[in-house]
Chains A and B, each alone.
Chain A
Amino acid sequence: MAVKLASVAGRRQPVVVANATEGEPLSAKDKTLVITAPHLVLDGVALVAEVVGATEVIVCVERSATAATAALRAAAAERLGADDLDVQLVGTPKQFIAGEETALIHWLNGGDAKPTLVPPRPFERGVRGRPTLVQNVETLAHLALIARFGAEWFRGLGPSDDPGTRLLTVGGGVARPGVVEVASGIPLREALDDAGLAPGKSPPVLVGGYFGTWLGPQQVRGARLDLGSMRAIGASPGCGVVWALPDGVCGLAESARLVRWYADQGAGQCGPCANGLPAMADAFEAMVAGKRAKEAAARLQRLLPMVTGRGACRHPDGAVRLVISALRVLAGEVELHARRGPCPASGHPPALPTPRAGGWR
C-alpha cells in the first residue's frame, strides 16, 4: 500500500480505483461493507485521492451486485458538492479474475477483463496510461477509520505486524453463516465457534476462499487469523473467507469441482495455465473417482510444478495451492478413494458454489 501510494503521489493527474469487484464466489465482505457503510468507503476514497492528488475516482462493483451498486450510488449522490471528487461507479463483468488489478485496468481501458503483462504495473501505467492506484474497499475503509481515530487506536487491536480488524465471510457447516468484523489475530476456531460450528466438530476448513488453502483439524486448532500466523502454516487470510466442510460432504469431490472451475475460469491467454489446469482437473477427477487413482495422483504431482508461476497472473498458482493443500489435508481420503472408489459422500449435491462466468466485457 505504502509503495503504491508513494509511486502514484505527485505524478501527473493520477487515478484512484476502488475495487469492490469481489469475484470470489464464497466472499460477501466487500458487498456487505459497501451496503452497510458506503460513506466510510467513500471517505477512504476521498482520502487517498487527496493524498495522491487525484480528482478522478472509479469505483468498481460486479454488475450483478445490484444492492451494493445502489448503496454506493445513493451515497455518492449524497456527497455531491461536499468533496471535490468526480466519482464514477462502474459495473464489472462477472469473472473470478476480473478483479485482478491488471485485468481491471485492461477492462477499464476498453479491453477484455483479462490480466496483462507486468511491468508496467497499474501504478506506473494504468487507466488511459495514467498512474493508477487500485485499492480494495476494505483497505480504503480502514484508512478512513485511521484518519478519524488515529493510528494508535487502530493498533489497539491485533498483532503489531498486522493490526486492526478484518472482515470475514464464515460459511459451510456452521449454524450462522455470514459476514463479521473481528480483531486481526483471533483464533480461527473462535471465528468458527461464533458462527455456530458445533462444539464437538473439527472439520477441514478452507481459509482464504478459492484462492486459499485447506487446513486440517490440527492446523485449525492452533491457527490465528493474521498474516504472520497464517503464513507460518503456509496459508493466508486472503479475502477473509472461512468455510468449514459440512457433514456428509466429500472434501475431495468438492476440491475436484473447484479445480475444474479454476480451469473454466482461466482467461485462456497463457499456455501453461490453459493446458495445465484442465489436465490437473482431469487427474484430480480420476483420483476422486478411484479410476487408476495412484497413477492419477502421480500425474497430478507432476503437473503442479509445470503450472506454478507460469502465467501473466496468479490464477494458476491459486489452483496449485488449492490442490497441494487438498492432497495434504485430505490425504487419508485420497487413500480411501484409491482403494475403494468414490466415498458415499461424493454423491452429495455440490456444497461449494461454482458460478458460471459472464463474459469478458
Chain B
Amino acid sequence: MTVRLTVDWINCKAHGLCYELFPERIRPDDWGYPIIDDRPIPPELEPMARRAADACPTLALLIRMEQAAKP
C-alpha cells in the first residue's frame, strides 16, 4: 500500500496549516497554496501526513491509498 497526498484544489483556501504541520513534504507557493512533494509517504512520516490532513479547515488535503503495482 502506497500513501500519497493530493489536494482538492476547489476546496483549498490557502489556510496554510498543512505546510506548517508537514514541512517535510509540503511547501507554500507564491500565493500560499500548498506544493506537494509527490513521492510516496514512508511509514515513519505517515502520522504527520495524517495530522496535516486532519488539521485542514476545509478538508482539502487528501490522503490517497494506492495499491502497490504488481511486480
| Main secondary structure on B side of the interface with A | loop
Q: Out of B10, B32, B35, which one reaches A270, CB within 8 Å? A: B10
B10 to chain A, nearest CB (A): 5
Q: Is the CB of B33 closer than 8 A to any CB of chain A?
A: yes
Q: Is the CB of A294 closer than 8 A to any CB of chain B?
A: no
A-B pair number, CB within 8 angstroms: 39
Cβ contacts under 8 Å, B35 to chain A? 306, 310
CA separation between A338 and B13, bound complex, in Å?
A: 37
Point out which of A269, A270, A279, A311 has the most chain B C-beta atoms below 10 A from its C-beta. Answer: A270
Cβ contacts under 8 Å, A116 to chain B? 10
**Judging by beta carbons under 8 Å apart, are B9 and A275 in contact?**
no
Q: Out of A117, A272, A279, which one reaches B8, CB within 8 Å? A: A117
Count of chain A residues with a beta carbon within 8 Å of a chain B beta carbon: 15
Count of chain B residues with a beta carbon within 8 Å of a chain A beta carbon: 14
Q: Which residues between 2 and 19 of chain B lie within 8 Å of chain A, taking CB atoms?
A: 7-14
CA separation between A269 and B60, bound complex, in Å?
A: 13
B33 to chain A: closest residue by CB:
A271
Q: Out of A279, A306, A311, which one reaches B9, CB within 8 Å? A: A311
**Judging by beta carbons under 8 Å apart, are A310 and B30 in contact?**
no
Q: Out of A271, A276, A306, A311, which one reaches B14, CB within 8 Å? A: A271
Q: Is the CB of B44 closer than 8 A to any CB of chain A?
A: no
Q: Out of A115, A117, A272, A312, which one reaches B33, CB within 8 Å? A: A272
Cβ contacts under 8 Å, A271 to chain B? 9, 12-14, 31-33
Q: Can you give 6 contacting A-B residue pairs, CB < 8 Å? A: A117-B10, A270-B9, A271-B9, A271-B13, A310-B9, A311-B9
Beyond A117-B11, A276-B31: 19 further Cβ-contacts under 8 Å? A115-B10, A116-B10, A117-B9, A117-B10, A269-B9, A270-B10, A271-B13, A271-B14, A271-B32, A272-B9, A272-B29, A272-B31, A273-B9, A275-B30, A275-B31, A279-B30, A311-B9, A312-B9, A312-B10
